[in-house]
Structure 1
Amino acid sequence: MCVRLVITDAMWDRIEPLMPADPVRGRRWAGHRRTLEAIAWKYRTCSPWRDPPAELGSFTTSHKRLIRWAVDGTWERILAAVLAAADAGDDIGWTVSVDSTVCRAHQHATGASKRGRLGRSEPGDHALGRSRGGLSTKVHLVSDSHARPLALYVTTGQAGDAPAFEAVMARIRVPQGGLGRPRTRPEAVLADRAYSSRAIRGHLRRRGIRAVIPEPADQAGHRLRGGRAGGRPPAFNAEAYKQRNSVERCISRLKQWRGLAMRTDKLALAYQAALQLAAILIWARRYPPGQRSDTQRASAGQDPSLTM
C-alpha cells in the first residue's frame, strides 16, 4: 500500500531536535517520525484510530503518545520552539488577526467520563457544546500576517468570541533568544465586529497594542444618541483591516485536515494536541529565502508530500 506522507526531510531536520528523548528505562520507543506521520494521517483522513496502514505502525503507540505529550506539554514546547526559530529569522508577521471557527462533533466524540484521570488538563465539559446545529467545538485562534497559527484555544461550540479573547491572546508566548522573557505582545490586532467591546479595546490599550476593530452599527447608534457623553468613535484603519483575511486563510489551512474540520476525539486535550501538531507542521514547512534542503531542491515544483 502506498501511503502519502507529509513530513519532508527538511521539516524533520527542524523537528527532530525538539522531540523527547527515549526513556532511560524500558524498551526503546518506536521512531518519532513514523509516529508523527501516523497521527497526521489519522487527522488528515479522519479515519478511526484502529485503521492506519501497516507502514505507520501500531495505532496504540500513536494514540498513547498523542495523549502523553498533550498532558506533559510536549506539543506546546515544540510549537514554542518552532515559533522561536521563526522569530529569530524575522519570519513572524506581528500584525495578528483573531477569529474563531465552529467544528461539528461526530457522535464518536461523546461519551467521555466527566471525571477522568487527566485532572485540570481536561475541561469538565470536554469543550463540547450543544446548539441548534448539534454538538460542536469552537476553535479560537490567533494567526500572524502570513496565515500561520500563533495561538489556539478550544471551547464549547456555543461559546461567544469576545469572552475567549483574553484567553487566546494569553497563549501567545514566543521565546526570545538568551534569557529574555517570551514575546507576548503583537504590534496590532485585527478582529471583526464580534470583538468590538469596551473591555477588549481597554485590554489592548493597557498592553500598548493597536486595535483594528470596526464598530458595529448598534454601538455607533448608542454612542451618537449619547451626545458628548457618548465619546469619540474608536480609531479604525480600514486599509489595515484588509489584512484580516489572514486568519480566514489560516482556518482554511487547518481544516484541510478532515479530522480537524470534524471533531471525533472524546477529549478536548487530544483535539487541541492535533491542532498543535498541524500548526507545528505548518511552521516547519517554511524556510528563509535561499535556504532549501536537498529534498526540496530535488522535488522543486512538486507536491512536498513524500510516498513510500
Structure 2
Amino acid sequence: MPDGHTFALCLTHDVDRPYKTYQSLFYALTEPDRRRYHLSTALPGVNPYWQFGTVMDLEADLGVRSAFYFLSEQRLFRDRPPREWPSMDAWRLFAGRYDPADPEIRAAIRRMDEGGWEVGLHGSYESFEDRERLREEKATVEEALGRAVRGGRQHYLNLEAPDTWADHRALGLAYDASLGSSEEYGFDHGYGVHRPFDDGFVVFPLTVMEQSLPDPGEEFDRAREACEDLLAEACDNGAVMTALWHPRHFSEGEFPGHRRLYRRLVERALELGAWVGSPGQLYEQEGLADPPGGGDRRRATSSTGPDGDGPEP
C-alpha cells in the first residue's frame, strides 16, 4: 500500500445521467406520495441530478479525490431504429442521455481534471463486445478531457471476460473496474487487483455499489454498519476496496441518506488508516504497470457474475 497505509479505498462515480429529464414524469406517475416533488423537478432551471459540485466539495473537504467515468451512449431517436422507440427497455437504456462534448459537460470534465480528480471512460451498453464502438467513445471522452484516459468501467457492469479486457488493453486502457455486482456487496472476487494477462493491465473488482446496500434513507444504521463491516474486512486483509456512488445519489431530495453515508464511508476509511483515492491514482502510486517479477499478482481468479448497473428509468 502507498506510504504504509493499511488498505486502499478507491472511489468511483459512473456518470449515467447528469440531467433529470423524462424521469420527473415517470416518478410522478409511479410514486404518487411524492408526485408534487417529482413534478417540481421538471421546472426550468431545476436539475437535482447535476451533483458534480456537491461531490467534489465533499471530497475536497475530506482531502480525497475520486474517479468520474463519463458515458458516450447512443441516443434513442438519433441512433436506434424506430421499432425500438416504444420499448420501455429502449427508453431506460438510450433516452435522456448526454454528450461529453456538450459545453456544460466538457467544462465540468475540465474542472475535475484541473482539481486532481480522475476522468475515465464509462463504456456504453453495447460496447463491451464492440471494440470499434468503444474506441469511438474513448476518443469522444478524451477530446472533451484534452488528453488520454487511463481506465474506466462498462455501463451496467457488462463484461465478457477476458474479451472485454482484451479490447480495453488493445485501446490503450491500463485498467477496468467492471468486475462486480449491482445487487450484492463484498469481496467475492478477492482482496487484490487482478491481472488477467499477467502484464500491466489491471482489474479493480467492485466491492460495493450504493444501490446494493440497505436504503440509507430508511435504514441508515444498517447501511452504515454494512459499510463499516466492509472497511474492517478490507483493513484486516490489506485489501483494495472499490466503491461506486452514482453522482445523482448525492441529491438528498432524490436519494435521502446516500450523501451522508458516502461521507461516513470515507471518514471511517481514513480513521482506519486507509489510502483513499481513484483507481488511476493507485495504479500510478503503486506502480501497477510493472508486475513484480513479471509474474501474476492476482489474489483471486478473474471471473464474472450476473452483474448489471441496476434498473434505471
TM-score, scaled to structure 2: 0.33
Q: Which has the larger radius of gyration?
A: 1
TM-score, scaled to structure 1: 0.34
